[in-house]
Amino acid sequence: MESEDLSSEHLEVKCPACESENTKVTQKIMDIPHFPQMWFFNLSCLDCHYKHNDFINLSIKEPVKYIYHLENKEDYTTKVIRSSNGTISFPQIEAMIEPGPSADGFINNIEGILRDFQGKVRFLLKDASTEDEIQRIREYDELLDNYIENCLPIDIVIEDPFGNSSIIPADPSKLETIHLTQEEAEKLKIGYVVFEGVKDI
């Protein structure tokens, strides 16, 4: 994805993981086509290799919830900016990414997000210890594959208490934007990647 870097700044700080001073921070104000102006932050430790990325939306400052209703292949190309504070869920397949201490911000399309989910599900096979666990993981993998390969109808829901995440829809008529109250924003969970569809594994 091409972007115009309006300004860039490099800083040296201590790594939050190993406290090494051999750590660099890059900050950029970015103009990304079809997106609001974004502030991009990257921290990289050259000793322990800890990395962290994040985005801050410079145009929206209030809690927000987006729901995009996918129906076809074009919808799967919809671009998403997810900040480290953003919660992403797919209700039909019971999959969710929640913010946590190691959460990164990223830019991806919806197909790419689902493929990342699929990669994490396949990784679970390495820790599966029973035939029942293996079977359930494989069935969930096949479910994800069916959605991705056939571009089946599905909803993506993004909630961000600071309004830093964003969706640029392939079809604007399929996007719902809901402004959250402060009380609703405070109820957003903090965690990691959760696959409710295989939660008992």
Tens of pLDDT, residues 54-82: 777 666 568 999 999 999 999 999 999 88
Last residue of a domain, one of 59, 86, 107: 59
pTM here?
A: 0.72
Looking at the structure, do residues 117 and 79 belong to the same domain, yes or no?
A: yes
Q: What is the pLDDT of residues 44-59, one digit of tens each?
A: 888 888 877 777 766 6
Looking at the structure, do residues 37 and 83 belong to the same domain, yes or no?
A: no
Looking at the structure, do residues 41 and 77 belong to the same domain, yes or no?
A: no
Dihedral over Cα of 105, 139, 149, 155: its sign? negative
Count CB-CB contacts under 10 A for residue 109.
17
DSSP 144: H
Looking at the structure, do residues 50 and 69 belong to the same domain, yes or no?
A: no
Q: What value does the mean pLDDT of the chain take?
A: 82
Q: What is the CATH number of the domain that holds 94?
A: 2.60.120.1040
Strands, sheet with 64-70, edge to edge from the N-terminal-most edge strand: 175-179, 64-70, 154-160, 87-90, 95-97, 193-195
Q: What is the residue range of 40's domain?
A: 1-59
pLDDT band at 115 (very low <50, low <70, confident <90, very high): very high
**Structurally, how many domains does the chain consist of?**
2
